[in-house]
Structure 1
Amino acid sequence: MPEVEIEVGGRRFEVACQPGEEDYLISAATALDKEASSIGDQLGRLSESRMLLMAGLMLADQAGNLKEKLAKSDADLTAAISEISRLNAELSSSSIPGNENAALSAEFEKTLIDIAEKAERLADKIDTQHS
């Protein structure tokens, strides 16, 4: 099991992790250290345990907010997929002459691409906020 040296609150720690999780552990420790430093700057001198507790609570709050945003994005994506299915069914069952049907198909394709791009931007935004 690999061991990684991390620094949090000015102290160094050796922490074991699963193979392949080293970068994630370093990233998590960096976030905790950054939050602890920010709290120390804002609140002044705190005991190490109080500073780490506050930093952990702040990170947990951020994680909770990200989970809420992710759930909303998932719901929005599900709604968009349902709308695409509905429009596709409506288009398939329509008795519109060929040229008009082709125009609607092009419009449907553009709408589908727009929805996919919006979903991709939402996913990128969530990934950026999570990092």
Structure 2
Amino acid sequence: MAQITVTINGKAFRMACDDGEEDRLMGLAKRFDGWITELRGAFGEIGDQRLTVMAGIMATDQLSELEKKIAGLEEDLSEARRQQVDALDNMSQNEQELARSVNTAAARIESLADSLTKSLRSGDAS
């Protein structure tokens, strides 16, 4: 386990994290500290605890909005997959129908060719 020190609202906090996660945790702490700085600029000195709670609520609100967006995208993806399956089924049916039509046309052409050949042969015999 790695140990790092992050600074939030001007105070240093020692934290443990998995090895290799140090940069990620430092970035998260910097982002959270940015929200506190933003709130302090908007509301002034309203107390460290209150600023921290407000920043936590901002983070939770942003997380909630992103979760809603993800849920919507998952629904869109699911619908797109259903449409893809429907389109593939439709395409398969169209291919089968086309194959039947081509086979029917080929059979008619063969029949006409046979009739024409017989006609020509009988015309040669006369």
Q: Shorter-chain TM-score: what band?
A: 0.7 to 0.9
- Partners of 1:51 and 1:44 in 2: how far apart? 10
Q: Distance between the aligned counterparts of 1:60 and 1:18, measured in 2?
A: 23
**Deviation at residue 4 of structure 1 after TM alignment:** 1.2
Letter of the 1:48 counterpart: D
Query: Counterpart of 1:52 in structure 2: which amino acid?
Result: T
Deviation string 1:41-95 (CA, Å, 9 cap, x unpaired) is 0001121111111000111000000000001001101100110111001101112
Amino acid at match of 1:50: R
**Distance in 1, Cα, partners of 2:70 & 2:13:** 32
Number of the residue aligned with 1:83? 83
SS at match of 1:96: helix
Give the 5 Å matches for 1:52-131.
52-94=52-94, 95-96=97-98
- TM-score normalised per structure 1: 0.70
Q: Percent identity?
A: 28
Please, which runs of 5 or more residues in structure 2 have no aligned partner? 100-126
Letter paired with 1:57: I
Q: Does residue 18 in structure 1 map to residue 13 in structure 2?
A: no
Secondary structure of 1:81's partner? helix
Any idea what SS the aligned residue of 1:14 has? strand
TM-score normalised by structure 2 residue count: 0.73
Q: Which structure 1 segments of 5+ residues have no match?
A: 98-131
Question: 2:59 and 2:26 mapped to 1: Cα distance?
Answer: 15
RMSD over aligned CA atoms reads 1.2
Find the structure with the greater CA-based Rg. 2
Runs of 4+ in 1 over 4 A off after TM superposition: none
Q: Which has the higher contact order (CA 8 A, sep 6+)?
A: 1
